[in-house]
């Protein structure tokens, strides 16, 4: 693999500013890799020619600059953008056939912030239909395959981002997360992903967008092949934009101020419902042992409410209000469930089976208001319990029950994605950390969570783990 494909975005930016490599060379290397792994179907619409022009302009700007260090922090560095975010001139269907002809007229806030920081988008990446399932597959673009094993899923809904970053064809990408949509793709594809504190980063300019308190459940954040990029990217993305009323100004800490020595680390081995595989349990214990060796104070805990994570997540999300998934999926049309299912069986539905299942099943909490209220009460208790447990430390928690499943497997498995989803309604910052590969060559990993506003703590642990345990392992493709 071209050595440029192994570097962090910040290292590439430094090399460009220092004249050791041109932006055009960096962009060309990533375009070549993207074409090499085109069968993954991760980038669903490219802008390679525009990226080349922007790279040339970046090189000219460097030549004319009196002080190269005054150039933007990501000057001349390529990236990719999840298709649900508005990127001027690019499609923004969110995997919905009814939106297949929608072209963005301007950049979403976070896209604009990345471009103002000097980043050069290579294209937009695949999603699950309407961004609400853990397999990135839809009737507009088709299915995305895992770079470590094409027979496996890439996760969702930021699955295209996870796959293209994991494949080495993009240093970093922009994702969004309301139930694990940054962290699952990062986990399944062996890279880093950060779900920020609820309300830290604006979600303006993506589709669909949440309403009310759910604006803090839906978070926007980076997926990157190197942990050292997470904090610089988060600083670029964070802060109110005057549009997203769920976003607020928050003081950002400093990952460099966090020492592993004396750090309180709470580790929870499972949710009490579905235990992770042996390989994932071992990976989490490896992190625990390494932290102990660094002088961290590691304690194991059990939290009963985590066994009800699905009920808590779905009820709290439903109570937040706004258009239902069904309304968005069918664009306001009245659709009969049995008739639409028959169309799907005949191959004539414009929708995927997971999207239909969610659309026709999401009203179930409303049918049992007493149970829904109980779940929300349990959610408030869980929030208080986690706050007390974590304190000024961090929490280690499994990313999933297994490594990347085979295609179609999630539709028949249990709701194991709640391992990530529960943290969205808790509004906690969470970083997904890769931990090498298992015996089948599939990525391992663990989640690290902290209290609201303590994003720097989870990123600090990710940076430490990259140095101590190794990070992204490029696929052998």
CATH number for the domain spanning 296: value is 3.90.1300.10
Strand pairing report for 120-125 and 43-46: antiparallel
Q: Is 474 contained in some domain? A: no
**Same structural domain, 255 and 196:** yes
**Same structural domain, 224 and 352:** no
Q: Is 368 contained in some domain? A: no
The SS3 call for residue 257 is: helix
pLDDT of residue 477: 53
The SS3 call for residue 117 is: coil
Integer Cα distance of 352 and 344 in angstroms: 8
Q: Is 183 contained in some domain? A: yes
Cis peptide before 157 (omega within 30 of 0): yes
How many structural domains are present in the chain? 2
Taking 70 as the pLDDT cut, the residues of the chain under it are 363-367, 414, 477
Of 215, 167, 229, 121, the residue nearest 462 (C-alpha): 229
**Same structural domain, 383 and 354:** no
Taking CA atoms, 297 is separated from 292, 388, 397, in Å, by 6, 16, 16
| Sheet containing strand 192-195, strands side by side | 43-46, 120-125, 78-82, 172-177, 219-224, 192-195, 430-437, 443-449, 394-397, 264-267, 297-300
Q: Are the beta carbons of 444 and 472 closer than 8 angstroms?
A: no
pLDDT of residue 28: 98
Integer Cα distance of 368 and 211 in angstroms: 23
pLDDT of residue 42: 98
Q: Is 122 contained in some domain? A: yes
pLDDT of residue 370: 84
Integer Cα distance of 179 and 312 in angstroms: 12
Measured from the Cβ of residue 474, the count of other Cβ atoms closer than 10 Å reads 15
**Same structural domain, 404 and 347:** no
Q: Is 15 contained in some domain? A: yes
Provide the token pair at 282: 């071992």
**Same structural domain, 161 and 111:** yes
Provide the token pair at 34: 């993207």
**Same structural domain, 15 and 144:** yes
Integer Cα distance of 347 and 356 in angstroms: 13
pLDDT of residue 124: 99
pLDDT of residue 382: 98
**Same structural domain, 200 and 349:** no
Q: Is 476 contained in some domain? A: no
Determine the structural domain holding residue 343 and report its residue range.
Answer: 325-362
Q: Is 331 left (phi over 0), alpha (psi -120 to 50) or beta?
A: left
Residue with tokens 């930016």: 13
Integer Cα distance of 472 and 462 in angstroms: 11
The DSSP code for 275 is: P
**Same structural domain, 189 and 49:** yes
**Same structural domain, 330 and 232:** no
Whole-prediction pTM value? 0.97
pLDDT of residue 414: 65
**Same structural domain, 218 and 356:** no
Q: Are the beta carbons of 201 and 150 closer than 8 angstroms?
A: no
Q: Is 138 contained in some domain? A: yes
**Same structural domain, 239 and 331:** no
pLDDT of residue 140: 98
Of 177, 179, 198, 197, the residue nearest 416 (C-alpha): 179
Beta strand residue intervals within 331-429, DSSP E: 394-397
Integer Cα distance of 162 and 187 in angstroms: 8
Q: Which residues contact 47 (CB under 8 A, 6 or more apart)?
A: 89, 90, 121, 122, 123
Which residues participate in catalysis according to the annotation?
Answer: 82, 157, 181
Taking CA atoms, 210 is separated from 20, 158, 245, in Å, by 44, 16, 11
Task: Please report which helix (H) or strand (E) contains residue 174, including its range.
Answer: strand 172-177
**Same structural domain, 393 and 293:** yes
pLDDT of residue 367: 52
């Amino acid at each position: 693999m071209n050595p440029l494909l192994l570097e962090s975005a910040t290292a590439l930016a430094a090399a460009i500013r220092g004249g050791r490599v041109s932006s055009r060379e960096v962009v060309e290397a990533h375009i070549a890799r993207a074409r090499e792994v085109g069968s993954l179907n991760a980038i669903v619409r490219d802008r390679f020619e525009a990226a080349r022009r922007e790279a040339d302009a970046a090189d000219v700007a460097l030549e004319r600059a009196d002080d190269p260090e005054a150039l933007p922090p990501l000057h001349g560095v390529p990236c990719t953008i999840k298709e649900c975010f508005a990127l001027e001139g690019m499609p923004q269907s969110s995997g919905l056939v009814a939106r297949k002809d929608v072209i963005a007229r301007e950049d979403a806030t976070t896209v604009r912030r990345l471009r103002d920081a000097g980043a050069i988008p290579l294209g937009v990446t695949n999603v699950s239909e309407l961004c609400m399932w853990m397999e990135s597959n839809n009737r507009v673009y088709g299915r995305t395959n895992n770079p470590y094993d094409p027979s496996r899923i890439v996760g969702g809904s930021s699955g295209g981002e996870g796959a293209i970053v994991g494949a080495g064809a993009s240093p970093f990408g922009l994702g969004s997360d309301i139930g694990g949509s940054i962290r699952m793709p990062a986990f399944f594809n062996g890279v880093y992903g950060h779900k920020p504190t609820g309300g830290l980063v604006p979600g303006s300019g993506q589709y669909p967008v949440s309403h009310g308190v759910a604006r803090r459940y839906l978070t926007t954040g980076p997926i990157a092949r190197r942990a050292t990029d997470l904090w610089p990217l988060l600083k670029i993305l964070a802060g109110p934009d005057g549009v997203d009323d769920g976003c607020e100004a928050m003081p950002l800490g400093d990952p460099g101020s966090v020492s592993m020595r004396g750090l309180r680390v709470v580790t929870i081995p499972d949710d009490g419902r579905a235990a992770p595989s042996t390989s994932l349990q071992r990976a989490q214990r490896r992190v625990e042992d390494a932290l102990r060796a660094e002088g961290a104070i590691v304690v194991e805990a059990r939290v009963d409410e985590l066994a009800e994570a699905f009920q808590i997540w779905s009820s709290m999300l439903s109570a937040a209000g706004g258009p239902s998934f069904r309304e968005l999926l069918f664009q306001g049309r009245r659709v009969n469930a049995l008739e639409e299912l028959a169309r799907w069986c005949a191959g004539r539905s414009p929708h995927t089976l997971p999207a239909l299942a969610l659309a026709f099943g999401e009203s179930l909490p409303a049918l049992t208001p007493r149970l829904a209220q109980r779940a929300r009460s349990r959610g408030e208790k869980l929030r208080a319990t986690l706050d007390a447990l974590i304190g000024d430390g961090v929490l280690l928690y499994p990313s999933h029950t297994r490594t990347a499943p085979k295609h179609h497997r999630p539709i028949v498995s249990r709701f194991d994605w709640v391992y990530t989803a529960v943290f969205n309604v808790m509004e906690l910052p969470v970083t997904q950390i890769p931990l090498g590969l298992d015996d089948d060559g599939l990525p391992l990993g663990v989640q690290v969570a902290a209290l609201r506003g303590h994003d720097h703590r989870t990123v600090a642990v990710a940076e430490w783990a990259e140095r101590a345990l190794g990070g992204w392992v490029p696929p052998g493709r």
